[in-house]
Structure 1
């Protein structure tokens, strides 16, 4: 892909000062403000802990179990909830969470992160209860505004968020038993549930963002294929819970192929010079590819290397979710903060750092003497990407919209 030229502009108008100072009411105005900061900060901290200080992770949720949990439910799902709480206000005209209720949701999230790190059974149960309450509160808030705003096409979204919470409960229970096979089954359920949410949301917003950014560009919304994709994704979850591996693999493969079909019809050649768009295209395409690899894993196809769960998990989780996230938390924050939809050099740098982290992490999956150095280099690029994002956006997210 051709490297795009960064536009050296500020995130506010030339000569215009930032609002005088941070304001709590602005910070708690919409879900994306605190949850984007929390999710991105936790993304860099949790990876730094996992790679550079794993000895700080204490049972009962420790090691790979802690890392997988915090990446999916502590990072990816947090950003997704922040986006949905914000987008639903636009879809329905009703803000689902703001002020003290939003602060309560963020406090529950924080208690969960601290509890899992603290170790010990009491802290674990407190963290599990807080995290369950976080997903339940978010799902109920979304359900309330969907019905109040009569947003029928979005009625399923609160139940997908609730599904994320249920999969999280099952995962936490399995972590106490020490049964790795059961643990990974519940992780796969959560991963696919998150993938269905990501595909559903991204399929709607990517064409809209592209047509708004490029005058004259016409992109089909592909509503029918999107509906089929959602049904197939949910079917894959149900079949997985029922232990039907072969049909589940077919449903996963079909979901991934639909995603690749959609991205091919969104005229990707038109966005090559728009980093704020091509980063979303790349993430969406990686999601489709990752679901195909997941199907191969479930069906038992492929070589020994590609049959490992770590391959499709990292393709979906890093190349898919994380690449989409670094693009979405930039684009949606600019839009909701009333800023020009243009990037400065630090933001484009964060995109390239994220892509570098993905490439290095996938390379580290190949058994070799370079695995450890590649892993450390990937973590460093990952941390740098989110430091750049927080450095640029945190001051804006805590201040009023222009």
Structure 2
């Protein structure tokens, strides 16, 4: 009985720690810090310095950790914070939240420093994180009967399957499986961007600029979401060994690119040029059609698919996450939602890095070394600016004294 009481006291104490009050606090901080460190290691690698000997080698580690280290942490922080608003039920906090953070950290440490442990054990630790996030989401969404948010559960499940496939690729020495599983993860995060972007970008833009929010066109919404979901299914089949005609895959990518481009044009992005937290979101979403259009050309043999993938990961994923992290970290700490000094520069650096690493490199492959260097440095600078502004707010209580 005394043990139960002391455990309850410890849990209550941890719940009062500002950083443990909602998932966005620890996960946004750790994701930003981890991405800077990981990109620093990647930069050193391109200059001939081997700072790590991670599980699977540095090429695998870079692909895997930017998806299942950085991106997974941001997705978890966002979803486990947003689900509280969607359901009206308290989300993960205190000791359980810090325990989940510990699972994520254990995965990152073991992937970077495998210490001779068996590959199956490393995989088991790393694979535990996303299913736990999905379980928390499922409990809250099902309890509150908010069925429209169930879409995130199969997405998290498929992300876990993609992660498992990448680990199996390392265990069995199957580079093709690693590549196709990584592509599946990129398309799944793209699908999440399409879902979340559709919910918030038009609304944020209309509210901030005092303009009417454009009414969604049901057929266009269905086409944008449906075509992106179809791409995910197609890539899942490819990962499982089903051979699909390149022309079919390219056609699906063009359809999704066009639908999402038309969708974006209706959201009033041209009026947001004075507001970096808005044009950052519009710019990041624009890289979805850019990346998918380039990927369609890559399927037809125009250039390497990884160029298109980096349009989606740097321009789309990285920039949208930076913009959303900057906005959420203000709103959920009860601070005015405004662009802090340098955040506009950070978002601009992300978009510039994406342009250099993807379309520019596709047109001028002879400048590969420079584009790699600049895109890595731009990413690091952008997230260092975020850490400079947001570390203190994320570690301190809300300004209105409320919990969260």
Query: Structure 1-normalised TM-score?
Result: 0.87
Q: Supply the distance in 2 between the matched residues of 1:222 and 1:28 (Cα, whole angstroms).
A: 40
Equivalent runs, 1:149-228 vs 2, <5 Å:
149-228=144-223
Equivalent runs, 1:2-401 vs 2, <5 Å:
25-53=17-45, 55-58=50-53, 60-119=55-114, 121-122=116-117, 124-242=119-237, 243=242, 244-245=244-245, 246-297=247-298, 300-303=299-302, 307-362=303-358, 363-364=360-361, 370-401=367-398
SS in 1 for 2:398: coil
* Pair 58,367 (structure 1): closer, same or farther in 2 beyond 3 Å: farther
Contact 1:350–1:386 (CA<8 Å) still a contact in 2?
A: yes
Give the Å deviation of 1:75.
Answer: 1.1
5+ residue gaps, structure 2 = 1-13, 400-404
Give the Å deviation of 1:383.
Answer: 0.9
Give the Å deviation of 1:308.
Answer: 0.4
Give the Å deviation of 1:59.
Answer: 5.1
Q: Supply the distance in 2 between the matched residues of 1:224 and 1:104 (Cα, whole angstroms).
A: 43
Contact 1:114–1:127 (CA<8 Å) still a contact in 2?
A: no
Contact 2:253–2:292 (CA<8 Å) still a contact in 1?
A: yes
Which residue is equivalent to 2:3? none
Give the Å deviation of 1:385.
Answer: 1.0
Q: Which consecutive segments of 4 or more residues in structure 1 shift more than 4 A?
A: 364-369
Contact 1:338–1:401 (CA<8 Å) still a contact in 2?
A: yes
Q: Supply the distance in 1 between the matched residues of 2:175 and 2:364 (Cα, whole angstroms).
A: 22
Matched residue count:
376
Give the Å deviation of 1:100.
Answer: 1.5
Q: Supply the distance in 1 between the matched residues of 2:366 and 2:31 (Cα, whole angstroms).
A: 33
1:343-396 deviations in Å (ceiling 9; x for gaps): 122222212222332233334566655432332232222111111101100110
Q: Supply the distance in 1 between the matched residues of 2:296 and 2:91 (Cα, whole angstroms).
A: 36
1:73-117 deviations in Å (ceiling 9; x for gaps): 111222112111111111111233211121111111111111011
5+ residue gaps, structure 1 = 1-21
Q: Supply the distance in 2 between the matched residues of 1:367 and 1:252 (Cα, whole angstroms).
A: 24
Compare relative contact order (CA 8 Å, sep 6+) and give the higher one, 1 or 2.
1
Give the Å deviation of 1:180.
Answer: 1.7
- Report the more deviating stretch, 108-117 or 63-72: 63-72
Query: Structure 2-normalised TM-score?
Result: 0.87
Give the Å deviation of 1:194.
Answer: 1.3
1:19-76 deviations in Å (ceiling 9; x for gaps): xxx9953211111111111111111110110111451332542122111111111112
Give the Å deviation of 1:163.
Answer: 1.0
Which residue is equivalent to 2:9? none
SS in 1 for 2:59: helix
Q: Supply the distance in 2 between the matched residues of 1:382 and 1:55 (Cα, whole angstroms).
A: 20
SS in 1 for 2:274: coil
Q: Supply the distance in 2 between the matched residues of 1:282 and 1:367 (Cα, whole angstroms).
A: 23
1:208-249 deviations in Å (ceiling 9; x for gaps): 111111113332344553343333223222223332344443
* Pair 24,224 (structure 1): closer, same or farther in 2 beyond 3 Å: farther
Contact 1:235–1:248 (CA<8 Å) still a contact in 2?
A: no
Contact 2:202–2:214 (CA<8 Å) still a contact in 1?
A: yes
SS in 1 for 2:189: helix
Q: CA RMSD in A?
A: 2.1
Q: Supply the distance in 2 between the matched residues of 1:258 and 1:76 (Cα, whole angstroms).
A: 25
Which residue is equivalent to 2:5? none
Contact 1:353–1:382 (CA<8 Å) still a contact in 2?
A: yes
* Pair 368,268 (structure 1): closer, same or farther in 2 beyond 3 Å: closer
Contact 1:365–1:371 (CA<8 Å) still a contact in 2?
A: no
